[in-house]
Amino acid sequence: MLLICPHCKQQYNIEEGKIPSSVKNVKCKNCGQSFPLQEEPAPTPEDVISRVVTPGDNETRRIGVCISKGGVGKTTTSVNLAAGLAFAGYRVLLVDTDTQGQDSFALGVQPKGGLTELINEELSAEEAVFKARERLWLLAGGKSLAGLKRLIDRKDFGGELTVSEALKPLESQYDYVVVDTSPGWDPLTVNVLFYVNEILTPVSLEIMTLQGLVEFLKSLSAIQKHRKDVALKYILPTMHDQRVQKCTEILEKIEELYGHLLCKPIRQNVHLSEAPTSGQTIFEFAPGSSGAEDYRELVRKVANNDKLFR
Ligand SMILES: Nc1ncnc2c1ncn2[C@@H]1O[C@H](COP(=O)(O)OP(=O)(O)O)[C@@H](O)[C@H]1O
Ligand SMILES: [Mg+2]
């Protein structure tokens, strides 16, 4: 459960089960002020989408691919959505905020730095942003982000805006900024939620329960109290296997609860797991595969343009 002090915005990631039910107020270790411990109700679709700020035609769209769970297809989706938008003709910046640095690997590139070096001013924006493909640029993640997290933690004030302040001056050069995130809640994930205004949440029909999605949405609500213009825009089922009953059941439940956010599922497809090992996007590795077809459909949905790739 993510708690944010309403006075100083310090974040606490607390295991819900460890809080005695009698506790109604908590004291912030950072600023010393007390605030009520409120159980976040599971947000309704209206709660999570009503805040969305529809970008103007010339405004850069900032999309975060987020959910606290790992292994659900965040990186696969970030890379292929970004690449698909670029192939469709948009200028795209892909930002990797995970210490694993998988986005560079998936694109088969080795930038000499990325987000950390941009924020530390070790590299200029021109040096930190790596041109990975035609119209597709990468601001890489990787191990150095661990130091960046400590830097954010040490800031007395405004730590949650560190990424935003670094990306804002660059973003007008792009039509889309797509941000890949790490599993769990860490200072960088919170930073991403203070930067993007649209969230795409992959839900693996293979490994996830609906509970994982509901937990994520509760934490998102906690952020939305402090930042009004971030909203859940898309729920993307991944690793869909029609033959598996559990997949169908989860899908039906998501449709019932969050129907209008639901995107057409990405099917289980072996080429999607093989493509990164050759440093290729699914459109390069297996353009005729169901994986490529499904991600093209996602690109059409996100760009709101049915004619793309036809
Ligand atoms: N639709 C899919 N079909 C088959 N394998 C997939 C699919 N989507 C992702 N994978 C594989 O599942 C694993 C986890 O995906 P990944 O995108 O790295 O998740 P995350 O970034 O959420 O940890 C990776 O090995 C990836 O190649
Ligand atoms: Mg990942």
Ligand 1, CB within 6 Å, residue ranges: 70-76, 238-239, 266, 268-269, 272-273
pLDDT of residue 84: 98
Q: What's the gap in Å between 279 CA and the centre of ligand 1? A: 14
- Assess whether pLDDT exceeds 90 at residue 272: yes
- Assess whether pLDDT exceeds 80 at residue 42: no
Identify the residue whose C-alpha is closest to ligand 1 atom 27. Answer: 273
- Assess whether pLDDT exceeds 80 at residue 39: no
Domains of the chain, start order: 1-39 (no CATH), 40-303 (3.40.50.300)
Identify the residue whose C-alpha is closest to ligand 1 atom 9. Answer: 73
Q: How many CB atoms lie within 10 A of CB 221?
A: 17
Identify the residue whose C-alpha is closest to ligand 1 atom 8. Answer: 73
98-148 residue pLDDT tens: 999 999 999 999 999 999 999 999 999 999 999 999 999 999 999 999 999
Mutate to test the pocket of ligand 1, among 99, 270, 273 (most ligand atoms within 8 A of CB): 273
Number of the ligand closest to the Cα of 272: 1
Q: What's the gap in Å between 273 CA and the centre of ligand 1? A: 6
- Assess whether pLDDT exceeds 80 at residue 209: no
- Assess whether pLDDT exceeds 80 at residue 40: no
Q: What is the mean pLDDT of residues 193-216?
A: 90
Number of the ligand closest to the Cα of 96: 2
80-101 residue pLDDT tens: 999 999 999 999 999 999 999 9
Closest by CA position to 102, among listed 68, 160, 145, 153 = 145
Q: What is the mean pLDDT of residues 12-19?
A: 76
